[in-house]
Amino acid sequence: MMKSVLLLPRRWHPLPVFGRPIDLIWTLLLILATVALGLYALTVGSYPMGLSTVWQALTQPERADPTVLNLVRELRLPRVLLAVLAGAAMALAGLLMQSLTRNPLAAPGLVGVESGASVTMLLIMVLWPQLLPPALYPLAALGGGLAVAALVAVLSWRQGISPLRLILIGVGLTAILSAVADLIITYGDIDHVESALMWLGGSLHRSGWPQVYSLGLWLLLAGLPLLLCHRLLNLLQLGESVALSRGLNVTRTMGLLLLSSVMLTAAAVANVGTMTFVGLVAPHLARQLAGDRHGALLPLSALFGALLVLAGDTLGRGLLPPLQIPAGLVVALLGAPYLMLLLARQRSR
């Protein structure tokens, strides 16, 4: 009887990625929350508007005031979309780092990827501002992030990539790159440095449709395929020996996933600056709802990251208008207490 049961074909599951109906419910609720917060964000700023005015500008542009139409469609809407895309990219990159290193405190900044992209951007923005057009900034950041990631991988290689050595070497390289960034900021041209400092804080003040298209393309190339890799990530969480016993090429898989994390980080850094805490906090918020099942973790982490950056940017624009507090600083103020709580819980175990 047991054999006959085991030989029955597996039935098609209506939720092949999420696995549980509750995961789909949480995903839909987070999507609704993101849309609601995005609509509210369109009303916030030095020129406040009512929701009905914003809705008219979005749905009936021919009847809207030209000034309002330009403000909503050319200034605020790209900023909201860029915040959503950047948050999703950083959250997915952070989740990949935590899964590859099997370390819940890992983030793209911990292994030097974010620092490599940031230093590359600083070199261009401060020392050679005419070297590249803004449309090519993501490619330059990707080159810097890839160079650091490759160096970390080579230095940590010992018959495979060791997660512990990956983190330790990444921390050392991050310290070196931080010193280089400080030198550039200290001795660079003051006008260029001022703009770079605003960008380093994780600001969306330079947002526009070109940035939205650029980051959206990178997220489509490096982020969307991850939804098909949730079973591989689940295997890697069980350890290399288990993954090898299931026929998984661990080295190649980890290399491709690391490349995806670098691409997502570099694209986000190039367009909105550094937001380290997003990649750390968003996956942990998703784990509170989905555990360690990556089929649900991937979309939930992306949505939590989008909400964090969008909320940080909305608060930064609405607290002290017309002063704009960079979204990265607001997210850090929200993420630092959570990090300390997480460390305290890890220590008590």
**Residue 107 near residue 168, CB atoms below 8 Å:** no
Chain segment 278-304, per-residue pLDDT in tens: 888 899 889 888 888 888 889 999 999
> Domain 18-36+50-56+66-343 adopts which CATH fold?
ABC transporter involved in vitamin B12 uptake, BtuC (1.10.3470)
Chain segment 16-55, per-residue pLDDT in tens: 456 678 888 999 999 999 999 999 999 988 888 888 889 9
- DSSP characters over 66-132: HHHHHIIIIIIHHHHHHHHHHHHHHHHHHHHHHHHHT-TT--GGGGTHHHHHHHHHHIIIII-TTSS
Q: Which class for 134: exposed (0-12), middle (13-18), buried (19 or more C-beta within 10 A)?
A: middle
The pTM (predicted TM-score) of the whole model is 0.84
Chain segment 124-161, per-residue pLDDT in tens: 888 887 777 777 777 787 788 888 878 887 887 766 66
**Residue 173 near residue 152, CB atoms below 8 Å:** yes
2 has a pLDDT exceeding 50: no
Q: Which residues of 260-288 are buried (b: 16+ CB within 10 A; e: fewer)?
A: bbbbbbbbbbbbbbbbbbbbbbbbbbbbe
Chain segment 256-269, per-residue pLDDT in tens: 888 888 888 888 88
